[in-house]
Amino acid sequence: MITTRFAPSPTGYLHIGGLRTALFSWLWARKNRGEFLLRIEDTDLSRNSDEALEAILKAFDWVGMSYDGDAIYQSKRFDIYKKYIDQLLEEGKAYKCYMSKDELTVLREEQMSKGERTRYDGRYRDFNGTPPEGVEPVIRIKAPQEGNIIFNDGVKGEITIASTEVDDFVIARTGGVPTYNFVVAIDDALMNLTDVIRGDDHLYNTPKQIVVYEALGFEIPNFYHVAMINNEQGKKLSKRDGATDVMEYKTLGYLPEALLNFLVRLGWSHGDQEIFSIDEMIELFEPKNINRSSSNYNLDKLLWLNAHYIKNMPNEQLAIRLKEYSIEVEGHDKLELLLDATKERGKTLVELASQINLIMNAPTEYNPKNVKKAFKGEAKNILADFAMMLKEWERPLHTPPEYHAVIDNFVKSKEIGFGKIGMPLRVSLLGSMTGSGLDEIMAIIGVEETISRIERAIEFVGSVTPTTNI
RNA sequence: GGCCCCUUCGUCUAGCGGUUAGGAUCCAUGGUUUUCAUCCAUGUUACAGGAGUUCGAGUCUCCUAGGGGUCACCA
Protein backbone atom coordinates (compact mmCIF):
# COMPACT_ATOMS: atom_id res chain seq x y z
CA MET A 1 0.00 0.00 0.00
CA ILE A 2 1.11 3.52 -0.80
CA THR A 3 0.87 6.08 1.97
CA THR A 4 1.72 9.72 1.39
CA ARG A 5 1.28 12.87 3.38
CA PHE A 6 1.19 16.59 3.26
CA ALA A 7 2.82 18.27 6.20
CA PRO A 8 2.33 22.02 6.31
CA SER A 9 3.40 24.20 9.18
CA PRO A 10 0.69 26.61 10.22
CA THR A 11 2.81 29.71 9.98
CA GLY A 12 1.31 31.19 6.84
CA TYR A 13 -1.10 30.62 4.01
CA LEU A 14 -1.05 27.68 1.65
CA HIS A 15 0.74 28.81 -1.49
CA ILE A 16 0.70 27.20 -4.92
CA GLY A 17 4.01 25.42 -4.42
CA GLY A 18 2.64 23.72 -1.36
CA LEU A 19 -0.61 22.97 -3.10
CA ARG A 20 1.26 21.30 -5.94
CA THR A 21 3.25 18.96 -3.73
CA ALA A 22 0.06 18.21 -1.83
CA LEU A 23 -1.64 17.48 -5.14
CA PHE A 24 1.12 15.14 -6.27
CA SER A 25 1.02 13.29 -2.95
CA TRP A 26 -2.75 13.11 -3.02
CA LEU A 27 -2.86 11.85 -6.62
CA TRP A 28 -0.26 9.20 -5.97
CA ALA A 29 -2.11 7.88 -2.92
CA ARG A 30 -5.48 7.94 -4.64
CA LYS A 31 -4.13 6.27 -7.75
CA ASN A 32 -2.87 3.39 -5.64
CA ARG A 33 -5.93 3.31 -3.40
CA GLY A 34 -3.57 4.12 -0.59
CA GLU A 35 -3.78 6.74 2.09
CA PHE A 36 -3.14 10.44 2.01
CA LEU A 37 -2.50 11.83 5.47
CA LEU A 38 -2.35 15.34 6.79
CA ARG A 39 0.11 16.29 9.47
CA ILE A 40 0.40 19.71 11.02
CA GLU A 41 3.97 20.65 11.83
CA ASP A 42 3.47 22.93 14.77
CA THR A 43 6.49 22.25 16.92
CA ASP A 44 7.51 25.88 16.83
CA LEU A 45 4.95 27.01 19.35
CA SER A 46 5.82 30.67 18.96
CA ARG A 47 5.20 30.87 15.22
CA ASN A 48 1.96 28.94 14.89
CA SER A 49 -1.32 30.62 14.25
CA ASP A 50 -4.83 29.28 14.24
CA GLU A 51 -5.77 31.50 11.32
CA ALA A 52 -3.04 30.03 9.18
CA LEU A 53 -4.14 26.50 10.01
CA GLU A 54 -7.72 27.36 9.22
CA ALA A 55 -6.69 28.94 5.91
CA ILE A 56 -4.80 25.80 4.91
CA LEU A 57 -7.73 23.56 5.75
CA LYS A 58 -10.07 25.87 3.88
CA ALA A 59 -7.88 25.77 0.79
CA PHE A 60 -7.82 21.99 0.88
CA ASP A 61 -11.56 21.97 1.10
CA TRP A 62 -11.93 24.42 -1.78
CA VAL A 63 -9.85 22.38 -4.20
CA GLY A 64 -11.54 19.21 -3.07
CA MET A 65 -8.56 17.29 -1.78
CA SER A 66 -9.57 15.03 1.04
CA TYR A 67 -7.23 13.48 3.54
CA ASP A 68 -7.71 10.19 5.31
CA GLY A 69 -8.35 9.94 9.02
CA ASP A 70 -7.80 12.86 11.34
CA ALA A 71 -5.08 15.42 10.90
CA ILE A 72 -2.12 14.73 13.13
CA TYR A 73 -0.72 17.55 15.24
CA GLN A 74 2.88 17.29 16.21
CA SER A 75 2.36 19.58 19.17
CA LYS A 76 0.25 16.82 20.71
CA ARG A 77 2.90 14.17 20.28
CA PHE A 78 5.71 15.53 22.41
CA ASP A 79 5.54 12.54 24.73
CA ILE A 80 6.26 10.24 21.81
CA TYR A 81 9.27 12.25 20.71
CA LYS A 82 10.49 12.40 24.30
CA LYS A 83 10.46 8.64 24.47
CA TYR A 84 12.68 8.36 21.41
CA ILE A 85 15.02 11.04 22.67
CA ASP A 86 15.46 9.13 25.90
CA GLN A 87 16.01 5.96 23.95
CA LEU A 88 18.76 7.50 21.84
CA LEU A 89 20.36 8.99 24.92
CA GLU A 90 20.37 5.62 26.64
CA GLU A 91 21.79 3.89 23.60
CA GLY A 92 24.52 6.49 23.33
CA LYS A 93 23.31 7.58 19.91
CA ALA A 94 22.57 11.06 21.15
CA TYR A 95 24.15 13.25 23.78
CA LYS A 96 23.73 16.38 25.80
CA CYS A 97 25.55 19.39 24.50
CA TYR A 98 26.34 22.20 26.89
CA MET A 99 27.61 24.64 24.35
CA SER A 100 25.98 28.02 24.83
CA LYS A 101 24.45 29.99 21.97
CA ASP A 102 27.20 32.56 22.31
CA GLU A 103 29.87 29.91 21.95
CA LEU A 104 28.09 28.57 18.88
CA THR A 105 28.02 32.01 17.36
CA VAL A 106 31.75 32.42 17.93
CA LEU A 107 32.40 29.05 16.29
CA ARG A 108 30.30 29.96 13.27
CA GLU A 109 32.00 33.27 12.79
CA GLU A 110 35.37 31.59 12.91
CA GLN A 111 34.32 29.04 10.31
CA MET A 112 32.81 31.68 8.10
CA SER A 113 35.89 33.83 8.21
CA LYS A 114 37.88 30.81 7.02
CA GLY A 115 35.40 30.25 4.22
CA GLU A 116 34.34 26.93 5.68
CA ARG A 117 30.91 25.45 5.93
CA THR A 118 29.45 26.30 9.35
CA ARG A 119 28.90 23.22 11.40
CA TYR A 120 28.89 22.10 15.01
CA ASP A 121 32.32 20.76 15.91
CA GLY A 122 31.18 17.85 18.07
CA ARG A 123 32.91 19.07 21.19
CA TYR A 124 30.44 17.36 23.53
CA ARG A 125 30.04 14.23 21.47
CA ASP A 126 32.20 12.16 23.80
CA PHE A 127 32.07 14.41 26.83
CA ASN A 128 32.42 12.67 30.18
CA GLY A 129 33.34 15.51 32.49
CA THR A 130 31.23 17.66 34.73
CA PRO A 131 28.86 19.85 32.79
CA PRO A 132 29.36 23.60 33.07
CA GLU A 133 27.09 25.19 35.60
CA GLY A 134 24.02 27.15 34.65
CA VAL A 135 23.81 25.81 31.11
CA GLU A 136 20.67 24.00 30.05
CA PRO A 137 21.83 21.42 27.52
CA VAL A 138 20.39 20.65 24.09
CA ILE A 139 20.35 17.11 22.79
CA ARG A 140 22.34 16.35 19.68
CA ILE A 141 22.27 13.20 17.62
CA LYS A 142 25.44 11.38 16.61
CA ALA A 143 25.71 11.62 12.87
CA PRO A 144 28.17 9.44 10.98
CA GLN A 145 31.57 11.07 10.74
CA GLU A 146 32.82 9.46 7.60
CA GLY A 147 31.53 7.98 4.39
CA ASN A 148 28.57 9.15 2.39
CA ILE A 149 24.85 9.26 2.93
CA ILE A 150 23.30 7.96 -0.25
CA PHE A 151 19.65 7.79 -1.13
CA ASN A 152 17.68 7.30 -4.27
CA ASP A 153 15.47 10.21 -5.10
CA GLY A 154 12.46 9.29 -7.23
CA VAL A 155 12.79 12.49 -9.20
CA LYS A 156 16.48 13.33 -9.25
CA GLY A 157 18.07 9.92 -9.10
CA GLU A 158 20.85 8.90 -6.77
CA ILE A 159 21.92 11.63 -4.38
CA THR A 160 25.23 11.34 -2.58
CA ILE A 161 26.08 13.63 0.28
CA ALA A 162 29.28 13.38 2.26
CA SER A 163 28.74 12.64 5.95
CA THR A 164 31.00 15.56 6.75
CA GLU A 165 28.24 17.79 5.42
CA VAL A 166 25.92 16.59 8.16
CA ASP A 167 26.86 17.61 11.68
CA ASP A 168 25.52 16.41 15.00
CA PHE A 169 22.39 18.45 14.73
CA VAL A 170 20.11 19.37 17.61
CA ILE A 171 17.15 17.05 18.10
CA ALA A 172 15.89 18.68 21.31
CA ARG A 173 16.19 22.32 22.17
CA THR A 174 16.91 23.65 25.64
CA GLY A 175 13.65 22.95 27.39
CA GLY A 176 13.30 19.67 25.59
CA VAL A 177 11.12 20.68 22.62
CA PRO A 178 12.18 18.47 19.72
CA THR A 179 13.23 19.92 16.39
CA TYR A 180 11.89 19.57 12.88
CA ASN A 181 14.18 17.00 11.28
CA PHE A 182 13.84 14.72 14.25
CA VAL A 183 10.07 14.73 14.54
CA VAL A 184 9.55 14.54 10.78
CA ALA A 185 11.53 11.34 10.57
CA ILE A 186 9.72 9.83 13.55
CA ASP A 187 6.27 10.77 12.33
CA ASP A 188 6.92 9.71 8.77
CA ALA A 189 8.01 6.34 10.12
CA LEU A 190 5.21 5.99 12.66
CA MET A 191 2.61 6.97 10.07
CA ASN A 192 3.96 4.20 7.86
CA LEU A 193 4.69 6.51 4.99
CA THR A 194 5.94 4.74 1.91
CA ASP A 195 6.46 7.78 -0.31
CA VAL A 196 7.45 11.28 0.70
CA ILE A 197 6.81 13.84 -2.03
CA ARG A 198 7.97 17.29 -1.04
CA GLY A 199 9.67 20.43 -2.24
CA ASP A 200 13.20 20.51 -3.48
CA ASP A 201 14.09 22.77 -0.58
CA HIS A 202 13.94 19.70 1.67
CA LEU A 203 16.63 17.86 -0.23
CA TYR A 204 19.25 18.73 2.31
CA ASN A 205 17.02 17.68 5.18
CA THR A 206 16.87 14.18 3.81
CA PRO A 207 20.35 13.05 4.93
CA LYS A 208 19.60 14.41 8.42
CA GLN A 209 16.36 12.51 8.54
CA ILE A 210 18.11 9.39 7.33
CA VAL A 211 20.46 9.73 10.30
CA VAL A 212 17.38 9.62 12.55
CA TYR A 213 15.83 6.70 10.66
CA GLU A 214 18.98 4.72 11.06
CA ALA A 215 19.53 5.58 14.70
CA LEU A 216 16.00 4.42 15.47
CA GLY A 217 16.02 1.47 13.10
CA PHE A 218 13.12 2.70 11.02
CA GLU A 219 12.55 1.78 7.43
CA ILE A 220 13.44 4.59 5.02
CA PRO A 221 10.64 5.64 2.65
CA ASN A 222 10.97 6.65 -1.00
CA PHE A 223 11.74 10.32 -1.43
CA TYR A 224 10.68 12.51 -4.31
CA HIS A 225 11.98 16.05 -4.36
CA VAL A 226 10.01 18.27 -6.65
CA ALA A 227 11.75 21.34 -8.06
CA MET A 228 10.50 24.75 -7.14
CA ILE A 229 7.98 26.92 -8.91
CA ASN A 230 9.41 30.31 -9.82
CA ASN A 231 7.67 33.46 -10.91
CA GLU A 232 7.39 34.54 -14.54
CA GLN A 233 10.85 36.05 -14.39
CA GLY A 234 12.31 32.79 -13.13
CA LYS A 235 12.85 34.14 -9.63
CA LYS A 236 11.59 32.78 -6.37
CA LEU A 237 7.87 33.33 -5.84
CA SER A 238 7.16 36.05 -3.36
CA LYS A 239 4.25 38.09 -2.12
CA ARG A 240 4.96 40.63 -4.80
CA ASP A 241 4.00 38.09 -7.44
CA GLY A 242 0.48 38.17 -6.10
CA ALA A 243 -1.86 35.38 -5.29
CA THR A 244 0.51 33.57 -2.99
CA ASP A 245 -2.46 32.41 -0.98
CA VAL A 246 -4.33 29.66 -2.78
CA MET A 247 -7.63 31.15 -1.69
CA GLU A 248 -6.71 34.29 -3.57
CA TYR A 249 -7.35 32.33 -6.75
CA LYS A 250 -10.91 31.79 -5.70
CA THR A 251 -11.32 35.51 -5.16
CA LEU A 252 -9.93 36.15 -8.62
CA GLY A 253 -12.52 33.84 -10.17
CA TYR A 254 -10.55 30.70 -10.86
CA LEU A 255 -12.13 27.29 -10.73
CA PRO A 256 -10.34 24.77 -8.53
CA GLU A 257 -10.37 22.25 -11.38
CA ALA A 258 -8.50 24.75 -13.56
CA LEU A 259 -5.99 25.52 -10.84
CA LEU A 260 -5.32 21.84 -10.21
CA ASN A 261 -5.01 21.14 -13.93
CA PHE A 262 -2.58 24.03 -14.20
CA LEU A 263 -0.52 22.81 -11.27
CA VAL A 264 -0.41 19.19 -12.32
CA ARG A 265 1.17 20.24 -15.62
CA LEU A 266 3.75 22.35 -13.84
CA GLY A 267 6.57 19.88 -13.51
CA TRP A 268 4.65 16.81 -14.53
CA SER A 269 3.42 15.62 -17.90
CA HIS A 270 1.74 12.76 -19.64
CA GLY A 271 2.89 13.08 -23.22
CA ASP A 272 1.16 15.95 -24.97
CA GLN A 273 -1.97 15.94 -22.88
CA GLU A 274 -2.97 19.31 -21.48
CA ILE A 275 -6.45 18.82 -20.11
CA PHE A 276 -6.86 16.49 -17.17
CA SER A 277 -9.99 15.91 -15.19
CA ILE A 278 -9.40 14.98 -11.56
CA ASP A 279 -10.14 11.34 -12.39
CA GLU A 280 -7.67 11.39 -15.27
CA MET A 281 -4.98 12.89 -13.08
CA ILE A 282 -5.50 10.13 -10.56
CA GLU A 283 -5.42 7.50 -13.25
CA LEU A 284 -2.37 8.82 -15.08
CA PHE A 285 -0.17 10.32 -12.40
CA GLU A 286 3.26 8.73 -12.02
CA PRO A 287 5.97 10.34 -9.89
CA LYS A 288 8.54 9.06 -12.36
CA ASN A 289 7.18 11.56 -14.87
CA ILE A 290 7.92 14.48 -12.60
CA ASN A 291 10.33 16.88 -14.23
CA ARG A 292 13.68 17.41 -12.53
CA SER A 293 13.98 21.08 -13.39
CA SER A 294 12.17 24.00 -11.86
CA SER A 295 9.31 25.65 -13.69
CA ASN A 296 8.05 29.15 -14.06
CA TYR A 297 4.59 30.11 -13.08
CA ASN A 298 2.74 31.57 -16.05
CA LEU A 299 -0.67 33.13 -15.76
CA ASP A 300 -1.60 32.83 -19.46
CA LYS A 301 -1.89 29.10 -19.29
CA LEU A 302 -3.95 29.17 -16.12
CA LEU A 303 -6.28 31.70 -17.66
CA TRP A 304 -6.70 29.56 -20.75
CA LEU A 305 -7.48 26.51 -18.64
CA ASN A 306 -9.92 28.45 -16.54
CA ALA A 307 -11.74 29.67 -19.65
CA HIS A 308 -11.81 26.11 -20.89
CA TYR A 309 -13.39 24.79 -17.71
CA ILE A 310 -15.92 27.59 -17.60
CA LYS A 311 -16.96 26.98 -21.20
CA ASN A 312 -17.35 23.28 -20.63
CA MET A 313 -19.10 23.36 -17.30
CA PRO A 314 -22.80 22.48 -17.26
CA ASN A 315 -24.90 25.57 -16.68
CA GLU A 316 -26.57 24.36 -13.48
CA GLN A 317 -23.14 23.69 -12.03
CA LEU A 318 -21.89 27.07 -13.17
CA ALA A 319 -24.87 28.77 -11.57
CA ILE A 320 -23.96 27.21 -8.24
CA ARG A 321 -20.35 28.37 -8.52
CA LEU A 322 -21.47 31.87 -9.44
CA LYS A 323 -23.28 32.30 -6.14
CA GLU A 324 -19.89 32.94 -4.58
CA TYR A 325 -19.55 35.92 -6.89
CA SER A 326 -22.87 37.54 -5.99
CA ILE A 327 -24.71 36.14 -8.98
CA GLU A 328 -28.02 34.51 -8.15
CA VAL A 329 -29.29 32.90 -11.31
CA GLU A 330 -30.20 29.44 -10.10
CA GLY A 331 -33.77 28.77 -11.13
CA HIS A 332 -33.85 31.70 -13.55
CA ASP A 333 -36.18 30.75 -16.39
CA LYS A 334 -33.62 31.83 -18.99
CA LEU A 335 -30.67 30.26 -17.19
CA GLU A 336 -29.49 28.15 -20.12
CA LEU A 337 -29.72 31.01 -22.56
CA LEU A 338 -28.08 33.44 -20.20
CA LEU A 339 -25.07 31.28 -19.45
CA ASP A 340 -24.69 30.03 -23.01
CA ALA A 341 -24.64 33.64 -24.12
CA THR A 342 -22.01 34.71 -21.59
CA LYS A 343 -19.75 31.85 -20.62
CA GLU A 344 -17.53 32.11 -23.67
CA ARG A 345 -16.87 35.71 -22.81
CA GLY A 346 -15.41 35.31 -19.36
CA LYS A 347 -12.02 33.81 -18.63
CA THR A 348 -12.72 33.95 -14.91
CA LEU A 349 -15.88 33.69 -12.85
CA VAL A 350 -15.37 37.34 -11.98
CA GLU A 351 -15.44 38.30 -15.65
CA LEU A 352 -18.38 36.01 -16.27
CA ALA A 353 -20.22 37.62 -13.37
CA SER A 354 -19.68 41.04 -14.87
CA GLN A 355 -20.95 39.83 -18.25
CA ILE A 356 -24.06 38.54 -16.56
CA ASN A 357 -24.53 41.74 -14.61
CA LEU A 358 -24.28 43.68 -17.82
CA ILE A 359 -27.30 41.84 -19.16
CA MET A 360 -29.32 41.51 -16.00
CA ASN A 361 -29.05 45.14 -14.97
CA ALA A 362 -30.00 48.03 -17.21
CA PRO A 363 -27.08 50.38 -17.81
CA THR A 364 -27.04 53.27 -15.38
CA GLU A 365 -24.65 55.26 -17.48
CA TYR A 366 -23.25 55.30 -20.96
CA ASN A 367 -19.57 55.70 -21.56
CA PRO A 368 -19.06 59.01 -23.40
CA LYS A 369 -16.78 57.35 -25.91
CA ASN A 370 -19.41 54.73 -26.70
CA VAL A 371 -22.07 57.38 -26.96
CA LYS A 372 -20.02 59.38 -29.39
CA LYS A 373 -19.42 56.38 -31.60
CA ALA A 374 -22.71 54.54 -31.35
CA PHE A 375 -25.25 57.30 -31.00
CA LYS A 376 -24.11 59.53 -33.81
CA GLY A 377 -26.17 60.56 -36.80
CA GLU A 378 -29.59 59.03 -37.14
CA ALA A 379 -29.17 56.66 -34.23
CA LYS A 380 -31.80 58.28 -32.06
CA ASN A 381 -34.51 58.05 -34.71
CA ILE A 382 -33.49 54.56 -35.71
CA LEU A 383 -33.72 53.37 -32.14
CA ALA A 384 -37.12 54.97 -31.76
CA ASP A 385 -38.35 53.29 -34.91
CA PHE A 386 -36.96 49.98 -33.76
CA ALA A 387 -38.71 50.29 -30.39
CA MET A 388 -41.89 51.04 -32.26
CA MET A 389 -41.50 47.95 -34.40
CA LEU A 390 -41.01 45.84 -31.26
CA LYS A 391 -44.18 47.27 -29.74
CA GLU A 392 -46.21 46.52 -32.80
CA TRP A 393 -44.68 43.14 -33.51
CA GLU A 394 -47.40 40.55 -33.62
CA ARG A 395 -45.51 37.33 -33.75
CA PRO A 396 -44.14 35.75 -30.54
CA LEU A 397 -40.97 37.14 -28.98
CA HIS A 398 -39.27 34.61 -26.76
CA THR A 399 -36.32 33.02 -28.47
CA PRO A 400 -33.24 34.56 -30.07
CA PRO A 401 -34.35 33.63 -33.62
CA GLU A 402 -37.65 35.38 -33.01
CA TYR A 403 -35.83 38.56 -32.06
CA HIS A 404 -33.52 38.07 -34.95
CA ALA A 405 -36.51 38.17 -37.23
CA VAL A 406 -37.41 41.62 -35.92
CA ILE A 407 -33.97 43.03 -36.57
CA ASP A 408 -33.94 41.40 -39.96
CA ASN A 409 -37.28 42.84 -40.82
CA PHE A 410 -36.29 46.25 -39.50
CA VAL A 411 -33.12 46.46 -41.52
CA LYS A 412 -34.88 45.41 -44.69
CA SER A 413 -37.84 47.71 -44.35
CA LYS A 414 -35.60 50.68 -43.58
CA GLU A 415 -33.16 49.70 -46.29
CA ILE A 416 -30.23 50.28 -43.92
CA GLY A 417 -27.14 48.27 -43.07
CA PHE A 418 -27.06 46.30 -39.89
CA GLY A 419 -24.45 48.61 -38.47
CA LYS A 420 -26.95 51.45 -38.28
CA ILE A 421 -28.98 49.62 -35.66
CA GLY A 422 -26.50 47.12 -34.24
CA MET A 423 -24.18 49.32 -32.29
CA PRO A 424 -26.76 51.85 -31.05
CA LEU A 425 -28.91 48.95 -29.89
CA ARG A 426 -26.01 47.25 -28.15
CA VAL A 427 -25.02 50.36 -26.27
CA SER A 428 -28.66 50.95 -25.36
CA LEU A 429 -29.02 47.48 -23.94
CA LEU A 430 -25.65 47.04 -22.26
CA GLY A 431 -23.98 50.42 -22.13
CA SER A 432 -21.09 48.61 -23.76
CA MET A 433 -19.78 48.26 -27.30
CA THR A 434 -19.05 44.58 -26.89
CA GLY A 435 -20.80 41.62 -25.39
CA SER A 436 -23.20 38.80 -26.09
CA GLY A 437 -25.33 38.58 -29.22
CA LEU A 438 -28.18 41.06 -29.45
CA ASP A 439 -30.76 38.37 -30.18
CA GLU A 440 -29.75 36.52 -27.04
CA ILE A 441 -29.70 39.61 -24.85
CA MET A 442 -33.20 40.62 -25.92
CA ALA A 443 -34.50 37.10 -25.48
CA ILE A 444 -33.11 37.00 -21.96
CA ILE A 445 -34.40 40.34 -20.73
CA GLY A 446 -37.67 40.20 -22.65
CA VAL A 447 -39.41 42.67 -24.88
CA GLU A 448 -40.58 45.09 -22.20
CA GLU A 449 -37.15 45.54 -20.71
CA THR A 450 -35.67 45.83 -24.19
CA ILE A 451 -38.02 48.67 -25.06
CA SER A 452 -37.45 50.32 -21.71
CA ARG A 453 -33.67 50.27 -22.16
CA ILE A 454 -33.97 51.67 -25.68
CA GLU A 455 -36.21 54.47 -24.48
CA ARG A 456 -33.86 55.38 -21.69
CA ALA A 457 -31.00 55.50 -24.16
CA ILE A 458 -33.00 57.75 -26.47
CA GLU A 459 -33.75 60.03 -23.59
CA PHE A 460 -30.10 60.14 -22.69
CA VAL A 461 -29.01 60.86 -26.25
CA GLY A 462 -31.57 63.63 -26.52
CA SER A 463 -30.17 65.29 -23.43
CA VAL A 464 -26.59 65.43 -24.60
CA THR A 465 -26.68 65.56 -28.38
CA PRO A 466 -27.29 68.88 -30.13
CA THR A 467 -30.54 68.62 -32.09
CA THR A 468 -28.79 69.70 -35.25
CA ASN A 469 -26.96 66.42 -35.27
CA ILE A 470 -30.11 64.36 -35.33
C1' G B 1 32.00 30.68 -0.09
C1' G B 2 31.28 24.85 0.70
C1' C B 3 27.94 21.15 -0.79
C1' C B 4 23.73 19.49 -3.81
C1' C B 5 20.42 20.11 -7.94
C1' C B 6 18.93 22.13 -12.65
C1' U B 7 19.49 24.13 -18.17
C1' U B 8 14.67 22.05 -25.41
C1' C B 9 10.46 27.81 -28.63
C1' G B 10 8.93 34.08 -24.27
C1' U B 11 6.27 30.34 -20.89
C1' C B 12 4.53 24.99 -19.70
C1' U B 13 6.45 20.72 -21.87
C1' A B 14 7.24 15.86 -25.45
C1' G B 15 11.73 13.49 -26.68
C1' C B 16 14.51 8.47 -23.70
C1' G B 17 21.53 7.54 -30.04
C1' G B 18 19.01 8.07 -36.25
C1' U B 19 12.56 12.90 -35.84
C1' U B 20 11.63 18.07 -41.37
C1' A B 21 13.00 18.45 -32.88
C1' G B 22 6.30 17.39 -31.60
C1' G B 23 2.12 19.55 -28.59
C1' A B 24 0.01 23.57 -25.55
C1' U B 25 -0.04 28.71 -24.32
C1' C B 26 1.22 33.53 -25.93
C1' C B 27 1.79 36.57 -30.31
C1' A B 28 0.69 37.51 -35.65
C1' U B 29 -2.33 36.63 -40.04
C1' G B 30 -6.69 34.68 -42.39
C1' G B 31 -11.69 32.38 -42.06
C1' U B 32 -16.52 31.83 -39.33
C1' U B 33 -19.44 35.31 -36.30
C1' U B 34 -24.38 41.63 -37.58
C1' U B 35 -19.89 43.62 -32.37
C1' C B 36 -16.78 41.22 -28.88
C1' A B 37 -15.60 36.55 -27.47
C1' U B 38 -15.65 31.47 -28.95
C1' C B 39 -14.27 28.20 -32.80
C1' C B 40 -11.18 26.78 -37.13
C1' A B 41 -6.76 27.32 -40.23
C1' U B 42 -1.83 29.10 -41.06
C1' G B 43 2.68 31.19 -39.41
C1' U B 44 7.20 33.17 -36.36
C1' U B 45 10.31 31.34 -32.34
C1' A B 46 14.07 26.37 -28.94
C1' C B 47 18.14 21.82 -27.81
C1' A B 48 23.05 27.62 -22.80
C1' G B 49 28.40 27.30 -24.73
C1' G B 50 32.71 24.15 -25.62
C1' A B 51 35.29 19.60 -25.90
C1' G B 52 34.94 14.42 -26.29
C1' U B 53 32.50 9.03 -27.06
C1' U B 54 29.97 7.24 -31.59
C1' C B 55 29.07 5.82 -38.47
C1' G B 56 25.53 9.13 -36.03
C1' A B 57 24.19 13.18 -29.93
C1' G B 58 18.84 17.39 -27.57
C1' U B 59 19.61 12.39 -25.84
C1' C B 60 26.05 9.43 -23.04
C1' U B 61 30.89 11.72 -20.53
C1' C B 62 33.75 15.96 -19.02
C1' C B 63 34.56 21.25 -18.66
C1' U B 64 32.63 26.28 -18.65
C1' A B 65 28.72 29.67 -17.96
C1' G B 66 24.05 30.81 -15.94
C1' G B 67 20.05 29.70 -12.52
C1' G B 68 18.16 27.49 -8.04
C1' G B 69 18.40 25.12 -3.22
C1' U B 70 20.85 24.57 1.41
C1' C B 71 24.30 25.51 5.30
C1' A B 72 19.39 27.39 12.84
C1' C B 73 18.03 25.52 19.63
C1' C B 74 12.60 27.75 11.73
C1' A B 75 9.73 24.46 9.38
> Is residue A467 scored above 50 in pLDDT?
no
Q: Of all nucleotides in the shown strands, which has a C1' nearest the CA of A114?
A: B1
Nearby residues of A273 by Cβ (< 8 Å), 6 or more positions away: A284
Mean pLDDT (whole number) for A218-226: 97
**How far is Cα A355 from Cα A436, in angstroms, rounded to an integer?**
8
- Rounded to whole angstroms, the distance from the CA of residue A294 to the C1' of nucleotide B11 is 13
- Rounded to whole angstroms, the distance from the CA of residue A270 to the C1' of nucleotide B29 is 32
pLDDT given for residue A366 in this prediction? 85
Q: Of all nucleotides in the shown strands, which has a C1' nearest the CA of A268?
A: B13
Q: Of all nucleotides in the shown strands, which has a C1' nearest the CA of A135?
A: B73
Quote the distance between the C-alpha of residue A392 and its chain's center.
Answer: 54
The verdict on whether A239 is a catalytic residue reads: yes
- Rounded to whole angstroms, the distance from the CA of residue A202 to the C1' of nucleotide B27 is 38
pLDDT given for residue A468 in this prediction? 41
In this complex, the residue with its CA at the shortest distance from the C1' of nucleotide B1 is A115
* 3-state SS class at A82: helix
Of A239, A311, A372, A391, the active-site residue reads: A239
**How far is Cα A419 from Cα A407, in angstroms, rounded to an integer?**
11
Quote the distance between the C-alpha of residue A309 and its chain's center.
Answer: 15
Residue-wise pLDDT for A154-202, tens only, equals: 999 999 999 999 999 999 999 999 999 999 999 999 999 999 999 999 9
- Rounded to whole angstroms, the distance from the CA of residue A232 to the C1' of nucleotide B45 is 18
Q: Of all nucleotides in the shown strands, which has a C1' nearest the CA of A423?
A: B35
CA distance to A191, A358, A386, A431, per residue, from A390 (Å): 72, 22, 6, 20
- Rounded to whole angstroms, the distance from the CA of residue A204 to the C1' of nucleotide B42 is 49
In this complex, the residue with its CA at the shortest distance from the C1' of nucleotide B24 is A274
Contact status, residue A334 vs residue A444, Cβ threshold 8 Å = yes
Mean pLDDT (whole number) for A216-244: 86
Those nucleotides of strand B lying less than 7 Å from any protein Cβ are 1-8, 10-15, 22-26, 33-39, 67-75
**What is the pTM (predicted TM-score) of this model?**
0.94
Q: What is the complex's ipTM, to 2 decimals?
A: 0.95
In this complex, the residue with its CA at the shortest distance from the C1' of nucleotide B2 is A117
> Is residue A115 scored above 80 in pLDDT?
no
φ, ψ (nearest 5 deg) of residue A386: -70, -40
| Sign of the CA dihedral running A381, A387, A391, A397 | positive
**How far is Cα A7 from Cα A10, in angstroms, rounded to an integer?**
10
- Rounded to whole angstroms, the distance from the CA of residue A344 to the C1' of nucleotide B27 is 21
φ, ψ (nearest 5 deg) of residue A146: -140, 170
Residue-wise pLDDT for A310-345, tens only, equals: 999 999 999 999 999 999 998 889 999 999 999 999
